[in-house]
């Protein structure tokens, strides 16, 4: 007979391990890029009073008290997992064909049960059902969900699903959505993992659904669970199956060849092409693309690579080329004049990057679309001038300055800000924008005069920003982020318009400037994500039909539309304050390094522009002034001289326009023109625009070689995640000079100054 231990093992082996919850929520913990810890920060008397120091800067005690994670999303990493050896015995089946003799059973395999030893969690042990083939049944992996009408709501498309020959969306939308090793992830979705190598374990449903070796940490930006949907799982699956069946039963429309596609593309001038009505269904106006012949070739090639899918099958495809995206925008209700695309155009989420579209505020059918703003609301650029020259950066000073900026300005995925911000502070700054920063000593009073909208959108209402968005914003104020966001020390390299340059205070060749490019970080991303679900319901209620569900929208005058605009404006105010905080940190770094005050170095703000925003503006349509809601996604406002919405000291030259180049290439300062006001709603480009997808960049470029080339060019670089450098290499983007020249040839903006980078700080 079996002894007591062997009998217990045999008894345990007859029971069934409770199945893991299919809809378990994945846990994650916030951490810095490459394990980079928050550095200390000393304040200076010129920036803060003694009271301000204690109230608005993070102290070492604060860092000890706050681990930077989200309490409701945190994994209890301190839990100790115990391994209990239940029995070691041989389970050998030797008997007749019709049954097993208990006397012949011996145990020969270790049966190990794993449980959580947390003092508050003690789930009962439930051993597994043995099998002649395996001791555990492999978990059925969930089939990937297809994007299309059968799926609830629009979802971002992972880059790994894109063809190698086509371009992905701009980083302005998907900042900080990659793992630290540079691998792309689908925005907001974490893929399910393989089941543990240990086949026998008991999961604690309170702590974690995974065995200890399965636990992973994810950046806070990966926050949407795959199963986090409006419908319960069974209802959602049933709904998807029904809609997919309807799509299969519907008659298929014919697909066009690339030659047939190009018959809709008409050349208007050397810098303007028009996509005629009829290219996609339901176009209200044409789409106009401002590109030269070289840039137009890239767009046509992108269309050629996807033409086999056809223009009537958006629900079946995971990528939509920029030309078709611009045309789909032209089919939105209430759009006026044309759907416009700037020279840096490339495919994005819903709207293409570089898209400008205006909607009549008096038309009850007009819509607002989060896809026309982007996920990084009010991503923008600001330029700070100094009276320093390149001579002041000789020797070791440039390297020391770059290192100090890298240490004091939080960069990279998951970095916490150096600026303390309470919940009350957050609500105030969401409503007041730069006015709050001025009150707290984080910005100079004159700074707000040189920001679009004076750094404050009055339609903001923090009550329409979700708790989740606010939680993300609390720890990210004063942070740069990752992707194509940066802080650069630049030198005035060439002056094209001396009068305009002198008016801005940047008219001396060799003059040192600082350019900052970042946005609303996780708070803005969450506002956009929250809005997509709301817009889906609004479209169903108002029976709005779209060519692409990524264009989810709501009537401007509807409750959903007003709430989104209020939340978007709040996120825009956050972005202006975020850039103001980074400016305060930059001024302090320069003061510490050069032993002079920022006032003595004349560190004035030249201007601050946003290039992901929707604003209410007045424009002439057919000779009649109309109030329009102008969406600018990856495009910059460029108002002409004497426009009432630009600062008084720039009235004679027009609005400054700041165009950041690629990492290691030049940037530009432009001004707006009268022609741009009449033809593009006072808009121009925002940067170079991607030429290679991030996947292509990682495959074709070596980050070590990229860093070496920058060093050989005399550019100091500090980067939190070196593996991501290849994604932002100059070869990954279009030639920024071609883009700028196209804008000038088209008459929508004028060149004033070219800036050359000497030090780059990136996430």
**Residue 735 annotated as binding site:** no
Lowest-pLDDT range of 530-544, 576-590, 690-704: 690-704
Q: Is the pTM of this model over 0.85?
A: no
Chain-wide mean pLDDT for the chain? 75
**Rounded Cα gap, residues 210 and 196, in angstroms:** 8
Highest mean pLDDT among 22-31, 231-240, 369-378, 702-711: 369-378
| 546 within 8 A of 552, measured Cβ to Cβ | yes
User: Residue 292: pLDDT above 70?
Assistant: yes
Q: What is the pLDDT of residues 336-389, one digit of tens each?
A: 999 999 999 999 999 999 999 999 999 999 999 999 999 999 999 999 999 999
Q: For residues 571-586, b (16+ Cβ closer than 10 Å) or e, as one string?
A: bbbbbbbbbbbbbbbb
Q: Is residue 478 in some structural domain? A: yes
Lowest-pLDDT range of 171-185, 239-253, 365-379, 600-614: 171-185
> Quick one: average pLDDT of 483-512?
96
**Residue 76 annotated as binding site:** no
| 538 within 8 A of 544, measured Cβ to Cβ | yes
Q: What is the CATH number of the domain that holds 505?
A: 3.90.1860.10
Q: Is residue 725 in some structural domain? A: yes
Among 450, 631, 686, 703, which one carries the catalytic annotation?
A: 686
Q: Is residue 491 in some structural domain? A: yes
User: Residue 229: pLDDT above 70?
Assistant: no
**Rounded Cα gap, residues 54 and 60, in angstroms:** 11
> Quick one: average pLDDT of 461-489?
93
Q: Is residue 565 in some structural domain? A: yes
| 639 within 8 A of 645, measured Cβ to Cβ | yes
| Contacts of residue 292, Cβ cutoff 8 Å, sequence gap at least 6 | 270, 271, 343, 738, 741, 742, 745
| Domain tally, the chain | 1
pLDDT tier for residue 40 given thresholds of 50, 70 and 90: very low
| 160 within 8 A of 182, measured Cβ to Cβ | no
pLDDT tier for residue 180 given thresholds of 50, 70 and 90: very low
Q: Is residue 84 in some structural domain? A: no
User: Residue 259: pLDDT above 70?
Assistant: yes
220 versus 731: the higher-pLDDT residue is: 731
**Rounded Cα gap, residues 468 and 655, in angstroms:** 36
**Residue 662 annotated as binding site:** yes
Q: Is residue 234 in some structural domain? A: no
**What pLDDT score does 395 carry?**
81
**Residue 667 annotated as binding site:** yes
| 526 within 8 A of 468, measured Cβ to Cβ | yes
**Rounded Cα gap, residues 66 and 61, in angstroms:** 9
Q: What is the pLDDT of residues 113-171, one digit of tens each?
A: 333 343 344 444 444 444 443 334 444 444 554 444 444 444 444 433 333 333 333 44
- Structural domain containing residue 404: 379-762
pLDDT tier for residue 598 given thresholds of 50, 70 and 90: very high
**What pLDDT score does 648 carry?**
96
| 738 within 8 A of 696, measured Cβ to Cβ | no
**Residue 654 annotated as binding site:** no
For a pLDDT cut of 90, what percent of the chain falls above it?
52
**Rounded Cα gap, residues 558 and 542, in angstroms:** 10
User: Residue 47: pLDDT above 80?
Assistant: no
Q: Is residue 219 in some structural domain? A: no
**What pLDDT score does 246 carry?**
55
Q: Is residue 434 in some structural domain? A: yes
686 in active site: yes
Which DSSP string corresponds to 270-291?
A: TTEEEE-TTSSTT-SS-EEE--
Lowest-pLDDT range of 11-20, 48-57, 193-202: 193-202
Lowest-pLDDT range of 220-224, 417-421, 460-464: 220-224
**What pLDDT score does 603 carry?**
98
């Amino acid at each position: 007979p079996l002894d007591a231990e062997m009998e217990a093992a045999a008894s345990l082996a007859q029971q069934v391990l409770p199945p893991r919850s299919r809809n378990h929520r994945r846990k994650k913990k916030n951490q810095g890029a490459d394990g980079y810890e928050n550095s200390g920060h000393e304040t200076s008397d010129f920036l803060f009073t003694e009271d301000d120091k204690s109230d608005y800067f993070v102290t070492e005690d604060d860092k000890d008290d706050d681990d930077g994670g989200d309490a409701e999303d945190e994994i209890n990493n301190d839990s100790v997992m115990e391994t209990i050896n239940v029995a070691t015995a041989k389970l050998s089946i030797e008997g007749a064909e019709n049954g097993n003799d208990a006397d012949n059973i011996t145990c020969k395999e270790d049966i190990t049960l794993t449980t959580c030893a947390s003092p508050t969690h003690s789930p009962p042990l439930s051993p597994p059902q043995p099998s002649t083939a395996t001791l555990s049944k492999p978990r059925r992996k969930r089939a990937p969900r297809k994007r299309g009408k059968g799926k609830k709501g629009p979802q971002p498309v992972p880059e790994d699903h894109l063809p190698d020959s086509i371009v992905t969306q701009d980083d302005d939308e998907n900042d900080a959505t990659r793992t630290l090793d540079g691998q792309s992830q689908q925005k907001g979705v974490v893929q399910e993992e393989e089941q543990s190598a240990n086949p026998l374990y008991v999961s604690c449903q309170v702590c974690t659904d995974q065995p200890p070796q399965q636990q992973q940490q994810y950046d806070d930006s990966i926050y949407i669970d795959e199963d986090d949907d409006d419908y319960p799982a069974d209802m959602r699956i049933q709904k998807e199956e029904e809609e997919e069946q309807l799509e299969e039963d519907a008659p298929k429309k014919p697909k066009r060849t690339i030659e047939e596609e190009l018959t809709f593309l008409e050349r208007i001038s050397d810098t303007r092409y028009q996509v005629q009505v009829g290219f996609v269904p339901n176009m209200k106006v044409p789409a106009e693309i401002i590109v030269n012949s070289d840039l137009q070739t890239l767009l046509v090639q992108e269309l050629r690579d996807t033409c086999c899918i056809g223009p009537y099958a958006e629900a079946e495809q995971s990528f939509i080329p920029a030309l078709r995206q611009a045309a789909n925008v032209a089919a939105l209700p209430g759009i006026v004049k044309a759907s416009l695309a700037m020279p840096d155009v490339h495919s994005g989420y819903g709207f293409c990057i570089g898209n400008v579209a205006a909607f009549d505020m008096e038309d009850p059918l007009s819509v607002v679309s989060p896809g026309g703003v982007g996920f990084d609301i009010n991503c923008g650029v600001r330029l700070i001038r100094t009276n320093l020259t390149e001579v002041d950066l000789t020797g070791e000073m440039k390297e020391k300055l770059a290192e100090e900026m890298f240490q004091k300005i939080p960069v990279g995925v998951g970095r916490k800000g150096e600026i303390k911000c309470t919940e009350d502070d957050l609500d105030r700054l969401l409503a007041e924008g730069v006015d709050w920063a001025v009150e707290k000593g984080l910005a100079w009073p004159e700074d707000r005069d040189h920001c679009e909208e004076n750094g404050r959108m009055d339609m903001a209402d923090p009550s329409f920003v979700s708790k989740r968005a606010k939680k993300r914003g609390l720890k990210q104020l004063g942070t740069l982020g990752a992707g194509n966001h940066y802080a650069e020390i630049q030198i005035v390299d060439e002056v094209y318009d001396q009068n305009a340059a002198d008016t801005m205070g940047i008219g001396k060749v060799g003059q040192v400037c600082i350019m900052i490019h970042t946005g609303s970080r996780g708070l803005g991303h969450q506002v956009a994500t929250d809005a997509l679900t709301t817009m889906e319901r609004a479209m169903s209620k108002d029976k709005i039909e779209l060519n692409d569900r990524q264009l989810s929208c709501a009537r401007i005058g509807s409750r959903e539309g007003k709430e989104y605009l209020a939340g978007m404006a709040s996120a825009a105010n956050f972005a202006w304050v975020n850039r103001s905080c980074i400016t305060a940190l930059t001024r302090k770094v320069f003061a510490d390094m050069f032993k002079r005050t920022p006032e003595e170095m004349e560190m004035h703000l030249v201007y601050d522009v946003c290039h992901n925003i929707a604003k209410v503006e007045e424009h002439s349509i057919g000779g009649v002034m109309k109030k329009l809601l102008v969406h600018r996604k990856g495009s910059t406002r460029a108002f002409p001289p004497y426009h009432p919405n630009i600062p008084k000291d720039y009235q004679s030259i027009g609005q400054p326009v700041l165009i950041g180049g690629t990492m290691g290439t030049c940037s530009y300062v432009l001004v707006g023109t009268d022609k741009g006001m009449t033809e593009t709603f006072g808009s121009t480009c925002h940067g170079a625009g991607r030429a290679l997808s991030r996947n292509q960049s990682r495959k074709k470029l070596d980050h070590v070689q990229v860093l070496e080339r920058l060093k050989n060019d005399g550019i100091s670089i500090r980067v939190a995640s070196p593996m991501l450098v290849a994604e932002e290499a100059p070869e990954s983007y279009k030639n920024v000079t071609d883009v700028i020249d196209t804008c000038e040839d088209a008459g929508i903006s004028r060149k004033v100054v070219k800036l050359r980078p000497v030090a780059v700080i990136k996430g």
